[in-house]
Amino acid sequence: MGKLRLLGLFGPLSIFISAAYLLSCQSSPSSSSPGPVSTGPIQQKNAAVTGVLMWKGDPSGSGNYGSEITLTPANVNASQFGRLGTFSVDGIPIAQPLYVSGLDMGAAGTHDVVIVATEHDSVYGFDADHPDARSLWERHYVDAANGITPMPDSFGGRTTLGGEVGITGTPFIDGDTGALYFVTTLSRNGVPEQWLRAVNIRNGKDYGPGSVQIQASVAGDGRGSVNGQIAFDPSNQNQRMGLTEVGGAILVGWGSFSDWGVYHGWLMAYDPTTLKQIAVFNPTPEAQSTDAAAGPSDYGGGGAFWGGGAAPALDTAGNIYLNAADGSFNADQGGRNYGDTMLKLKLSGSAFKVVDWFTPSNAACIDLHDLELGSGGVALLPTDISNGIALAAALSKEGRLFLVNTATMGKFNAGGDNQIPQEFMVGQYTCSDAVTGDVAEGPNWNRLYGNPSYWNGNIYVGASNMPLQQFHFENGVLNPTPSAIAPSPYGLRGGNSVVSSNATESGIVWVYEKTAAGTGVLHAYDASDISKELWNSSMNTGRDGLGQGIGFGTPVVAEGRVIAAYDSAVAIYGLLQ
């Protein structure tokens, strides 16, 4: 179990906390314990917990916060809207913050709570109504005195995580139990470890067993195989995807640290009460004699699940949608390698089954030049704008947008992608034999990351080196000519967006940008016409400005508040009066 630190709203321990509870905190065992440790019985189910409980708020991945009644295009401007305060933390908060509305914390009272996880392997619960105050509770998994630190980001290759790897994927909150699930990456005396953790959001204490070490293997002769088994390597697998829950199981996905070292994509399912591993999936388990690229993970490897931080998308039937990144591909030949593929999976008993899939016709080219499909996740769209067809929207680093029919995804067609409802270029440059060098990146490329956002018949995408673009549905597909374009372009990581609205009224597109200079900027646009920028955090830098930006940062909108991470802090914005 990790060390627990409980603080009052404005300083040392609140008078509302019982002496017995404080004693239990002081005597908690260290996070260095090699196995699950429980501080008490499994928590019983309480009243439903509501709020922003996962990445982009719901399992569709469409980024639509449709119940916002406070913030409107009329009042989000530099004179009425701005920063209300800041929560300080001990590391970079790359994981998206979460928000819980009106949380009953027992003797500590009822609070609107902001949950923040950091790359220093810490988790915090803050009172959203008291910015700049100290935390309600904290949980720290680092124990330097016993050799337990965050994993250096030089392990297994390069990253943009700022020196250390701790908690990177966005945690998930179970709305029935109030249990928070996340993965900590640690170095124990120089040996990398990864742990799935579960804590109670009311107090930061362990939920159930509290932790289980991530260990897994699958049958295969692909990269890294030993005696017919491919083992999970905690030093080289980046837990970047957001966590989610399907059919009573917690889903956790892993990608890579860039394209260095031998890696695969991994998806695992865990029992939320016992933390027992239920199922494991690897999208590239087979050796291949030929491959598009020749990196250390090719010829039977790759296929990372990262999606710019996206969580797997889930439909109402419990199907799981996610994109595998650059890697080996032979599914069109009857094999089991699914690099650069949108996958539809089903958790069935103790296994994930591939239900259907789609791979772009130029998979070999985008694999060779690092223009992968898997730079984003999957956004599931409502059927009222598509003549009743259930569409999945996805983006690629090439700058291409795909609409796939989830009922019949089309698999692979070498002659073109005309088996899917639609695909078109958002960016200006396409993958071809004329591309020089292994990596097509820089100011001449319009890469797309994360998920497109949806609202009221519109899709919003923010490519690198381009402004935000708005596309409108007409006759069941998108008009590939933008209906509106934002005033200014974004930096090399584009912009990650969500939309707040009161159903079909008062839509605002919120975009988090990390500029070419590294500064974070939060933007707000009129969702009906994004050529109208309502506000951004640089209009009044002294009051609203962010510091060092977060790569693929995602804003959160909840009950008149907008939450954005930067540096080692989280800013909360709202109406100033």
pLDDT of residue 27: 29
**Averaged pLDDT for residues 313-321:** 97
pLDDT digit string, tens, across residues 214-238: 999 999 999 999 999 999 999 999 9
Confidence bin at 158 (pLDDT 50/70/90):
low
Confidence bin at 113 (pLDDT 50/70/90):
very high
Closest CA to 200 of 143, 242, 139: 139
Confidence bin at 94 (pLDDT 50/70/90):
very high
**Averaged pLDDT for residues 393-412:** 98
pLDDT of residue 132: 78
Burial 206-242 (b: 16+ CB within 10 A, else e): bbbbbbbebebebebebbbbeeeebebbbbbbbbbbb
Percent pLDDT > 90 in the chain is 85
Residue 176 half-sphere exposure toward CB, CA atoms < 13 A: 6
Residue 3 half-sphere exposure toward CB, CA atoms < 13 A: 14
| DSSP one-letter string for 444-508 | T-----S--EEETTEEEEE-TTS-EEEEEEETTEE-SS-SEE-SS---TT-EEEEEEEETTEEEE
pLDDT of residue 36: 28
Per-residue H/E/C for 207-270: EEEEEEECCCEEECCCCCEECCEEECCCCCEECCCCCEEECCEEEEEEEECCCCCCCECEEEEE
Closest CA to 99 of 87, 119, 84, 113: 113
Closest CA to 391 of 376, 366, 409: 409
Percent pLDDT > 70 in the chain is 90
pLDDT digit string, tens, across residues 347-386: 999 999 999 999 999 999 999 999 999 999 999 999 999 9
pLDDT of residue 375: 96
What is the pLDDT of the chain when averaged over all its residues? Answer: 91
According to the CATH classification, is domain 3-34+49-575 in 2.140.10.10? yes
- Amino acid letter, 454: Y
**pLDDT greater than 50 at residue 6:** no
Q: What angle do CA 187, 191, 195 make, to 5 degrees?
A: 55
